[in-house]
């Protein structure tokens, strides 16, 4: 049987071997509660502090400005809802939010919660056909009542890199906070919180080869959050609950490895991405490849095919040995078209996202292209279209 080809790195990378080793090592020596004063607790604290310093340095913040969470989704909720809680506690009366229409569903749902449950006014900014936000459209909405603007760094479905720096300027003019959801770029694209102009930045370890269920929120000098779940004073009261020290230690190691190999991993993936983008429409009729060619995430290729059901496509490709994802990253069971593609106004039918890792070779890409062409043709034939 042919080897499996995993092409869903934008959902979760395989755990890097160094991170797996770090997790095993930390589980043996740093399993105790890091807030306790005994020797076992101090061992856990020591590892936690070192991992925090590593992750903070990776995104260019002070280690006191980093909050560990249970993944990207929780980091996002802390950035959106926790920032609103902190502002309210300081008597800030701003109750206006702006986000882009192509944010990850965790950002959209958190913003909608502030709107629906707490009376905030929410403006959702559209994107162009490549999935890119217009910074002038954001700037036109931001004023002195705006608490925060939420714009991702790279889109998780079509890979568009957003002009966050230009958005940051509009935010700074009006004293609004900028949250940049960098879950798809931390460890994959060179960045820093300051370089992006962000006040809050969110990351997910599963997207750069760290453990699943670990993420973090990094805060700039103006970024303040108040804990969403309370109960103790850990993490400077920004997030209560016992820290997963082995998971955090493994995240820091994954991030170090990712950053050390960033250029090589980026270039290798970019070659495969451009190859797939070029060959897909050459090989298969009536397909649309989405997202920008330049200024894009190196690992994401999004393609829709007319006259084909996306879920059927994913399951036939799976049977043929290829793991890809269909539709929006969190709506795979909802049957709804991807909100990202809808916002872009492009073909939503028969959609798959192919996400490349550093191990993905051109041979893998060619094998995928052959399988894709064959599966699309068979599905079209079985529905009587061709």
**Residues in contact with ligand PLP by the rule CB under 6 A:** 11, 71-73, 76, 104, 106, 152, 156, 181, 183-184, 204, 206, 215, 329
Q: By Cβ distance, which residue is nearest to ligand PLP?
A: 72
How far CA 365 is from CA of 191, 356, 372, in Å, comes to 28, 9, 10
Q: Which is nearer to ligand PLP, 185 or 235 (CB)?
A: 185
Rounded to a whole number of angstroms, the minimum distance from the CB of residue 73 to ligand PLP is 3
Strand-pair category, 96-100 with 146-150: parallel
Cβ distance 200 to 223 under 8 Å?
yes
Q: Which is nearer to ligand PLP, 184 or 360 (CB)?
A: 184
Rounded to a whole number of angstroms, the minimum distance from the CB of residue 68 to ligand PLP is 12
Q: Which is nearer to ligand PLP, 44 or 99 (CB)?
A: 99
Rounded to a whole number of angstroms, the minimum distance from the CB of residue 268 to ligand PLP is 21
Cα of first residue to Cα of last residue in the chain, in angstroms, is 30
- State phi, psi for 288 to the nearest 5 degrees: -125, 125
Cβ distance 76 to 202 under 8 Å?
yes
Q: Which is nearer to ligand PLP, 8 or 199 (CB)?
A: 8
Q: Which is nearer to ligand PLP, 247 or 284 (CB)?
A: 247
Rounded to a whole number of angstroms, the minimum distance from the CB of residue 134 to ligand PLP is 19
Q: Which is nearer to ligand PLP, 80 or 369 (CB)?
A: 80
Q: Of all helices (H) and strands (E), which one includes residue 304?
A: strand 300-305
Task: Please count the other Cβ atoms lying within 10 Å of the Cβ belonging to residue 62.
Answer: 13
Q: Which is nearer to ligand PLP, 103 or 284 (CB)?
A: 103
- State phi, psi for 200 to the nearest 5 degrees: -135, 135
Rounded to a whole number of angstroms, the minimum distance from the CB of residue 69 to ligand PLP is 9
Q: Which is nearer to ligand PLP, 71 or 358 (CB)?
A: 71
Rounded to a whole number of angstroms, the minimum distance from the CB of residue 307 to ligand PLP is 28
In order, the DSSP letters of 2-69 are PPPEE-BTTT-PPPPHHHHHHHHHHHHH--S-TTS-SHHHHHHHHHHHHHHHHHHHHTT--GGGEEEE
Rounded to a whole number of angstroms, the minimum distance from the CB of residue 363 to ligand PLP is 27
Rounded to a whole number of angstroms, the minimum distance from the CB of residue 36 to ligand PLP is 28
Quick one: tokens of 27? 């589980």
């Amino acid at each position: 049987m042919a080897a499996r080809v995993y092409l869903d790195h934008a959902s979760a990378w395989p755990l890097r071997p160094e991170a797996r080793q770090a997790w095993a090592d930390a589980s043996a020596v740093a399993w105790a509660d890091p807030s306790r004063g005994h020797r076992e607790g101090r061992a856990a604290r020591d590892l936690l502090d070192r991992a925090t310093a590593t992750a903070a340095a990776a995104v260019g913040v002070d280690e006191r400005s980093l909050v560990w969470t249970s993944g990207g989704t929780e980091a996002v909720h802390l950035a959106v809802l926790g920032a609103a809680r902190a502002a309210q506690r300081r008597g800030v009366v701003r109750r206006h939010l702006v986000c882009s229409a192509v944010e990850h569903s965790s950002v959209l749902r958190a913003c909608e919660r502030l709107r629906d449950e707490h009376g905030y006014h929410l403006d959702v900014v559209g994107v162009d056909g490549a999935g890119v936000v217009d910074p002038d459209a954001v700037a036109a909405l931001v004023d002195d009542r705006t608490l925060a603007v939420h714009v991702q760094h790279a889109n998780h479905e079509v890979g568009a890199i957003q002009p966050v720096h230009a958005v940051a300027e509009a935010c700074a003019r009006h004293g609004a906070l900028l949250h940049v959801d960098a879950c798809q770029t931390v460890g994959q694209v060179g960045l820093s919180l300051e370089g992006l102009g962000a006040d809050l930045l969110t990351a997910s370890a599963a997207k750069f080869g760290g453990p699943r269920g670990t993420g973090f929120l990094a805060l700039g000098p103006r970024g303040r959050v108040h804990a969403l779940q309370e109960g103790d004073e850990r993490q400077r009261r920004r997030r209560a609950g016992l820290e997963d020290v082995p998971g955090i230690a493994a995240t820091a190691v994954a991030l170090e490895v990712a950053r050390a190999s960033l250029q090589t991993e980026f270039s290798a993936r970019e070659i495969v991405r451009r190859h797939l983008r070029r060959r897909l429409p050459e090989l298969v009729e009536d397909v649309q490849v989405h997202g920008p060619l330049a200024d894009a995430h190196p690992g994401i290729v999004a393609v829709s095919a007319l006259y084909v059901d996306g879920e059927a496509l994913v399951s036939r490709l799976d049977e043929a040995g290829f793991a890809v994802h269909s539709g929006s990253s969190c709506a795979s069971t909802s049957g709804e078209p991807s909100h990202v593609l809808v916002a872009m106004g492009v073909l939503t039918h028969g959609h798959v996202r192919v996400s490349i890792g550093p191990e993905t070779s051109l041979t893998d890409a060619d094998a995928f292209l052959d399988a894709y062409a064959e599966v699309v043709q068979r599905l079209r034939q079985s529905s009587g279209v061709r």
